[in-house]
Amino acid sequence: MKRIILFLAVLILPLMLSGIAEAKKVFLKWGATSVRSGLYANTVSMAGIVNKAYPGEIEITVVETGGFTENLVRIQKRSIHLGPADAAAGYANYEGIIDYKGKQNKDLRALWGGYITPIHIVSTKKSGADTLQKFNGLPFAMNPGTTSGRAIEMFFDANGIKPDYKMMGIGASVDALKSGVAKGWFKAGFKDSAILDLEASMDVNVIPIDKKWIDKTNEKFPGQAKSMMIPANIFKAVKKDQLSFAYVVSDFIHKDVPEDVVYKIVKAVYEKRKDLVGSLATLREGGFDDLYGNAEKYIHVPLHPGAVKFYQEVLKVKVPDRLLPPEMKKK
């Protein structure tokens, strides 16, 4: 009888311990973008890094979403726990301003600074629109619901530019320019494949912007416009370095995700950041490897306490008050 009891104990104990370990595992949903976007693969890579670093502790599932704007809504509704979004839209969402008026989300927290990427404003050569002022009345492909569409619409509005918007999807926009249905468009991404596709079959302009237009946009829509220099020859149409409209992509998370879990997420991604930027030009050129430095430069949503703890302990930095979440200021 004793032998039977001992035998059963040997069988049952591992199962009990396994059940305890499984109960401690944290399951998270990381929103991404459409699977057709190159940035979807980046989210998959980051989730894979975390899962590999903490097997049995954290299990992240990547969820396809409609993009950055949708991710903010999903985080607020808790249908996902974290996901990438435009830092400017995140700020508007956190504060409940501009298009997020009445939709304030004080539960939003940032993980890192992310990366800055240009939004190229293009026109067909045949259109004659080689400056932004010539976009007034121009048939212009607009992609509603996209982050870059949101940013460009604010930019044009603040600067009195009124194209003839033609609402359509991203894929249809390329065809619209080729067919002449639209004569202007915009596309985010460093050396974007859609613009390379256009240049393979037609001549286009990639329009430079002026810093004063960025300032004017931020006067009307606080914190919503950024700019960056793009290098000569990034496209055939870019003959010299020029200023481009831009936005910052960061990853945000709900404040209720445990501090120790967020610490581990940031730690895992930080330690593999060089591998991530090596695989995607947009991240490399946008400086994603400077996770904390970009937070100081670009982010106006508080960091999650787990992220703050990591930066303080590992990078030995003093996190500025504006990046400290309310729950840490109360301590």
Tell me the CATH class for 117-247.
Answer: alpha beta
- What does the pLDDT look like over 272-330, one tens digit per residue? 999 988 767 788 888 999 999 999 999 999 999 999 999 999 999 999 999 999 998 76
On the question of pLDDT at 72 being above 50, the answer is yes
- What tokens appear for 307 in the block? 């992220």
pLDDT band, residue 9 (cuts 50/70/90): very low
The sign of the torsion formed by the CA atoms of 24, 29, 35, 39 equals negative
∠ CA 100-304-215, rounded to 5°: 45
Q: Where in the chain do CATH 3.40.190.10 domains reside?
A: 2-115+250-329, 117-247
pTM listed for this prediction: 0.87
CATH architecture of 2-115+250-329: 3-Layer(aba) Sandwich (3.40)
Contacts of 293 (CB under 8 A, 6+ apart): 113, 287
Residues forming a β-bridge with 228: 244
On the question of pLDDT at 2 being above 80, the answer is no
